[in-house]
Structure 1
Amino acid sequence: MVELMLRLAPEEGYTAAQLDGVTFMRSNRSLPVTPALYEPSIVIVIQGRKSGLHDGNLYVYDAQHYLVLALPLPFSIETEASAEEPMLGVALRVEPLLVAELVMDRDEPQPTQPATLYSSPIDAHLSDATLRLLEALADPDEVRLLGPSILREIVFRVLQGEQGNGLRATLAQNSHFGRIARVLQRIHRDYQESLDVPSLAEIASMSVPAFHVHFKAMTSRSPLQYLKAIRLHQARLLMIRNDMSALSAAQRVGYESPSQFSREFKRLFGRTPGDETRHFKTLLRLAPAVAGVARSAS
């Protein structure tokens, strides 16, 4: 798998595969702890080690463990790698429709205590399916004919494991988990709009107090704290990728007060918007691998 990954991801950073929803990851050096935002996904590391910190809990995903995020969650990540043994991995976007089809086919009961993320040991079945996926991704004909079915198998294997509980729960639209998932989808789609707690609670079909309780239980943040984190992550990407000024980025993501934006940005990232942009551009010139960290926040 390492040899395949070195061919599939010849450059540092994130590389889109020929199969929709699949992304290769590579870093030739260790990267410090950085705030990031992952979309719902299955992350399988082939070589090297990544660790994430969320709500005071540490999640390690390496060649023996994979990570699943049932919800889009902001957390901090750290990468351990070297030029001799680069970090190599593959991220598979979780498609709710595919999960729904697999769950309905098995007619499984709805989970009662879903988990939003944690790492689990990779078993022989999942490892074998991952190898076959990488082999298919290396061949244009195989990826077209076999890729989707192997990807489906990987999601099935994850559903069968201890992390499948969280994925199944996203489909329980009448459960608290499913209702909060609908709200998160709205926030990620329309984060730049004027969103307030009462309107978000209405989407969840909950009272405001109940919405606060269940939202924080799922994300470890209040609704407004979560919305703020999403806006700040998106603004940072606009400044780093598009050379957008702090004022323009703040306005684009929904901030009306530049001073409030700068204050909250520094509180989250530890630097002012200008300092953060200069810091990342310096790192990008020194090591393109840092681009992967910036992209992981999207």
Structure 2
Amino acid sequence: MSQLVSTPAVSSYQHELAGLIERHTSMDGKHNTAIPDLCFRRASQVSEPTNTMNIPALYVIAQGSKTAIFAGESYRCDSAAYMVSSVHLPVIARITDASPQLPYLSLQLTLTPDVMLDIVKKTRPLGSGETGRGLLVNQSTPPLLDAILRLVKLLDTPMDIEMLAPLIIREIFYRVMQGEQGALLRQFAVIGSYAQSISEAIHLINRNYTEPLVIEELARTVSMSPTALHKHFKKVTAMSPLQYQKVIRLQKARQLLLTEGLDAATAGFRVGYESPSQFSREYARTFGRPPMSDIKHLRDTRI
């Protein structure tokens, strides 16, 4: 994907935003805030490519850069751009620009379906209603960054958060949905659209990922034919529902192996695999190493 170029106005906003995030992040890692849907991330060094799950959210980088590989395409995001995930999407992410002197600084603002739906009802018609990818990267704009700055500054006046944060968050997503690719994003908030049905299907798979996936039942639940479900699911996620469920299972198993010290067979059973050999084979194909070798590598590289 071509690199977006920051304007002087955007650079000024991002410089101020970086200073605020740095003040609220004393060490590397993820930092929750007093605003429930807002969190910050800080990293003092570049990272290896990491399989991760983007939640439905707005992602804004104030300093540094990262790449996200999704559906075979590489998305580069830095302070000139913002990224939006409309649904839960598995991506391979890598921080590409970070140092102790100039750490990677970013924020994540969770995308709330009710807020999106309300904005859609009060804004212009949707147009063609075509389903598209669930991951977008757009040029940052001064009005969007101004709203983001005002939201972050509320952390200095906690008594204002309950009243003002919901209003500013609505403004932020209004700005996003008026952006260049806003029509694609708005589709996920329209009841009865293909994109909204796929969003519901993705939610169901994530909630019930350990259970066998019967396409006909899933299609019936989201009021689609199996053929339409497969077609539009692939448009949004670049994979079939069964492939998507497999990725979810493997990522959950990796998390269990890393945090609970389970053996590979137990982790596989826990996420829905009946065959330990199939689990190990698909795990190695996805993450590049057999389960226990992969976990050892992850632990060694995090020291």
**C-alpha distance in structure 1 between counterparts of 2:216 and 2:36, whole Å:** 36
| Secondary structure of the structure 2 residue equivalent to 1:32 | coil
1:96-148 residue CA offsets vs partner (Å, 9 max, x unmatched): 01111111122633652343212111101011111111211233223333222
Pairing of 1:1-298 with structure 2 (within 5 A) = 1-80=17-96, 81-106=98-123, 108-109=125-126, 112-115=129-132, 116-284=134-302, 286=303
Q: Which has the higher contact order (CA 8 A, sep 6+)?
A: 1
**C-alpha distance in structure 1 between counterparts of 2:155 and 2:293, whole Å:** 39
Is there any run of 5+ residues in structure 1 with no aligned partner, and where? Answer: 287-298
1:37-84 residue CA offsets vs partner (Å, 9 max, x unmatched): 111110000000011111222212111100001121111111021111
Task: Answer whether contact 1:68 1:163 (CA < 8 A) is retained.
Answer: no
Instruction: Return the TM-score normalized by structure 1.
Output: 0.90
Give the AA of the match of 1:155: F
Identical columns (%): 35
Give the AA of the match of 1:256: E
Alignment match, 2:11: none
Instruction: Return the TM-score normalized by structure 2.
Output: 0.89
**C-alpha distance in structure 1 between counterparts of 2:232 and 2:131, whole Å:** 12
1:3-46 residue CA offsets vs partner (Å, 9 max, x unmatched): 21112121211111111121111111001222211111100000
**C-alpha distance in structure 2 between counterparts of 1:142 and 1:114, whole Å:** 38
**C-alpha distance in structure 1 between counterparts of 2:115 and 2:301, whole Å:** 38
Task: Answer whether contact 2:131 2:235 (CA < 8 A) is retained.
Answer: no
Deviates more, 1:231-240 or 1:245-254: 245-254
Task: Answer whether contact 2:117 2:190 (CA < 8 A) is retained.
Answer: no
1:205 Cα deviation (Å)?
Answer: 2.4
1:182-241 residue CA offsets vs partner (Å, 9 max, x unmatched): 110100111112222221222232332332222212211111111100111111111212
Q: CA RMSD in A?
A: 1.6
Cα 1:110–1:249 change in 2 (3 A) is farther
**C-alpha distance in structure 2 between counterparts of 1:185 and 1:70, whole Å:** 12
Task: Answer whether contact 1:111 1:169 (CA < 8 A) is retained.
Answer: no
Task: Answer whether contact 2:52 2:93 (CA < 8 A) is retained.
Answer: yes
